[in-house]
Amino acid sequence: MTDAWGQFKSFDGKKFKAMDAEFTRGASNLIGGKDLTACFQCAKCSAGCPVSDKVNIQIHEVMRMLLFGLKEVLETDMVWLCTTCYTCQERCPQGIEITDILFGLKNMAFKKRIAPPGYSGARQSLYDKGRLYEPTDWERDDLGLDPVPVLNIEDTKRMLKKTGLMKLEEDV
Amino acid sequence: MTQSYEVFLGCAIPSRFNNYESSMRAVAKNLDIELIDFEGASCCGTVVLKSIDENSWLSMSGRNIALAEQRGHDIVTPCNGCFGSLKDTSHVLHNNAACRKKVNAVLKPLGLEYTGKATIRHFVEVLYDMRGEIEEKIVRRLDGLRVAFHPGCHLIRPSSVAGFDDPELPRKVDELIEITGAKCVHWDMKLRCCGSPLLIASESVALKILKEKMISANGAGANCVVTNCPACQTQFDIQQIGLKDEAGNSLELPALFVTQVLGTALGIDAEPLGFELNRVSLNPIRDILGI
């Protein structure tokens, strides 16, 4: 068992109160979710996944939890320890867009404040500066590179205000 | 005919890997590829913003594409993260009318609209198409360079979006590198993610993945790693420093950008190729590179 991330660490001794069909339907409506219910658990996704041996709950188990409508899936480490390498999606014999579904799950988890802290900082930086990192000017000077073209931050801010980036949390 | 693109640098390159931009520009100049500055670019959003809120990601990335479209230009980027983000955005906006409508409603007050007419390419795609010309211009052979080439994920997967190379047996950039006389070794972990996107969630898991990659590269007899992405290079040229296996043996290998390799073979001076900014020592391969 690893402790890198996530509250839901094992199925052992777990009893699930309800299987929520609405939750499965919601997941099917995510970008990439349309073929979610075609999963037949061959586990080829987990066989090629770079973190299969580093997580408590593997990607084929995430897919099963989604089909069973188990909201606890949002608390598994697989959601945020997915490297987004797209190997599972590339190889799925059913053509399920697994990695894209995981992005949707991350969005859902973020709304419930179930996300590694680094993501909040990244969001703030994208909103405030329109960038994740600032140029290293002295290096650019040394190499004779021109300054990075100016970004009008008001434009991106106006846009991100409209998409509600800073007010995603459900309890805000 | 001279090819012309707006060059989308993203934020990681101007922040951490100015040697990638500098070597890219030098190679482009040598090959007569025109790179126009991308005015008004924001972050591509990358997998970070896509993880937080897909609508914000599509808007931010869609705005960048719409800017180039408005100016009538195509886009080239040397970064896998930006390439993946821009191509993926274009893929979603092309196929999902509801998403396109939402994004265009957000872009309208900025005087912009996503139409999908701009072509989005990775710089290595452009180079691959020019491999014949590159071969004719090689002035320095890099015999003895044994490269563990790391394509990175978003250059090739999902192939329905990236559309560049075989997602299971990528060969195109290897072919490009081998024009120089360098040899690309077969390594088990070539296709595996570098682990870099996990640096934000769990540095320890990201390092485990890097270690697996470096054990594989060393075992295959490589004397350097070559990448075409600043996110991957963060793993190979920053996180890799001091990396050891369980027995305490060093796993460090010099990490180069593909443009530094090609630039050297094209006879470009070491200075614009930015070798001074490579962090892992280049000593094991200095003679081969002539630096």
Peptide bond into B158 cis (omega under 30): yes
d(CA A68, CA B152): 34
Question: What's the number of CA atoms in the CB half-sphere (13 Å) around residue B23?
Answer: 30
Decide if A165 and B56 are in contact by the 8 Å CB cutoff. Answer: yes
Task: State the pLDDT at residue B2.
Answer: 85
Residues of B whose CB is below 8 A from A87? 153, 157, 191, 193
Q: List the structure tokens of B256.
A: 């180069």
**pLDDT reading at A155 higher than 60:** yes
Residues of B whose CB is below 8 A from A168? 52-53
Per-residue pLDDT tens for B102-129?
A: 999 999 999 999 999 999 999 999 999 9
Task: State the pLDDT at residue A2.
Answer: 64
Q: List the structure tokens of B117.
A: 């007419």
**pLDDT reading at B56 higher than 70:** yes
Cβ of B229 under 8 Å from any chain A Cβ?
A: no
Q: At what angle do helices A153-162 and B97-107 cross, to 10 degrees?
A: 130
Task: State the pLDDT at residue B123.
Answer: 98
Distance from CA of B156 to the nearest CA of A (A): 9
Task: State the pLDDT at residue B158.
Answer: 98
**pLDDT reading at B37 higher than 70:** yes
Q: List the structure tokens of B10.
A: 């993203």
* CATH 3.40.50.11810 for domain B139-289: yes
Decide if A50 and B193 are in contact by the 8 Å CB cutoff. Answer: yes
Place A18 in a pLDDT band, splitting at 50, 70 and 90. Answer: confident
Place A147 in a pLDDT band, splitting at 50, 70 and 90. Answer: very high
Phi, psi torsion values for B8, nearest 5 degrees:
-95, 110
pTM value surpassing 0.90: yes
Distance from CA of B105 to the nearest CA of A (A): 10
Nearest to B261 by CA among B20, B9, B18, B61: B20
Share of chain A above pLDDT 70, in %: 98
Q: List the structure tokens of B196.
A: 């870099």
pLDDT mean over A52-64: 97
Task: Using DSSP, state whether B233 is helix, strand or coil.
Answer: helix
Q: Tokens 């500055």 — which residue?
A: B37
pLDDT mean over A109-126: 97
User: Is the torsion defined by CA of A14, A20, A21, A25 positive or negative?
Assistant: negative
pLDDT mean over B264-275: 98
Task: State the pLDDT at residue B234.
Answer: 98
d(CA A34, CA A31): 8
Task: Using DSSP, state whether B38 is helix, strand or coil.
Answer: coil
B81 contacts B162 by C-beta, under 8 angstroms = no
Spatial neighbors of A79 by CB under 8 A, at least 6 apart, are A6, A62, A73, A102, A105, A106, A109, A114
| A151-A152-A153-A154 Cα dihedral, nearest 10 degrees | -170
For residue A61, give the amino acid letter. Answer: E
What architecture (CATH level 2) is domain B3-123?
Up-down Bundle (1.20)
Task: Using DSSP, state whether B77 is helix, strand or coil.
Answer: strand
Q: List the structure tokens of B246.
A: 């369980």
d(CA A6, CA A80): 8
Decide if B99 and A158 are in contact by the 8 Å CB cutoff. Answer: no
What rounded mean pLDDT belongs to chain B?
Answer: 97
Q: List the structure tokens of B168.
A: 């299971």
Spatial neighbors of B276 by CB under 8 A, at least 6 apart, are B19
Q: List the structure tokens of A147.
A: 């300054």
For residue A48, give the amino acid letter. Answer: G
Share of chain B above pLDDT 70, in %: 100
Per-residue pLDDT tens for B217-254?
A: 999 999 999 999 999 999 999 999 999 999 999 999 99
Decide if A51 and B272 are in contact by the 8 Å CB cutoff. Answer: no
Size of interface A-B (CB pairs under 8 A): 182
d(CA B52, CA B242): 33
| B49, B168, B204 ranked by CB distance to A4: nearest | B204
Q: What angle do CA B221, A52, B237 make, to 5 degrees?
A: 40
pLDDT mean over A98-106: 98
What rounded mean pLDDT belongs to chain A?
Answer: 94
Task: State the pLDDT at residue A7.
Answer: 83
Distance of CA A169 to the CA centre of its chain: 15
* B290 Ramachandran zone, left/alpha/beta (phi>0; psi -120 to 50): left
pLDDT mean over A39-56: 97
Task: State the pLDDT at residue A4.
Answer: 72
d(CA A124, CA A130): 9
pLDDT mean over A125-133: 96
**pLDDT reading at A19 higher than 90:** no
Task: State the pLDDT at residue B1.
Answer: 67
Place A1 in a pLDDT band, splitting at 50, 70 and 90. Answer: low
Per-residue pLDDT tens for B209-219?
A: 999 999 999 99
Strand order in the sheet with B224-227: B183-184, B146-150, B224-227, B255-257
Per-residue pLDDT tens for B129-175?
A: 999 999 999 999 999 999 999 999 999 999 999 999 999 999 999 99
Domain A21-111 adopts which CATH fold? Fumarate Reductase Iron-sulfur Protein; Chain B, domain 2 (1.10.1060)
Tell me the domain boundaries of chain B.
3-123, 139-289
Q: Which long-range contacts (CB under 8 A, 24 or more apart) does A34-43 make?
A: A34/A97, A35/A94, A35/A95, A35/A96, A35/A97, A36/A63, A36/A66, A36/A67, A36/A96, A36/A101, A37/A67, A38/A94, A38/A95, A38/A96, A39/A63, A39/A64, A39/A67, A39/A94, A39/A96, A40/A94, A42/A93
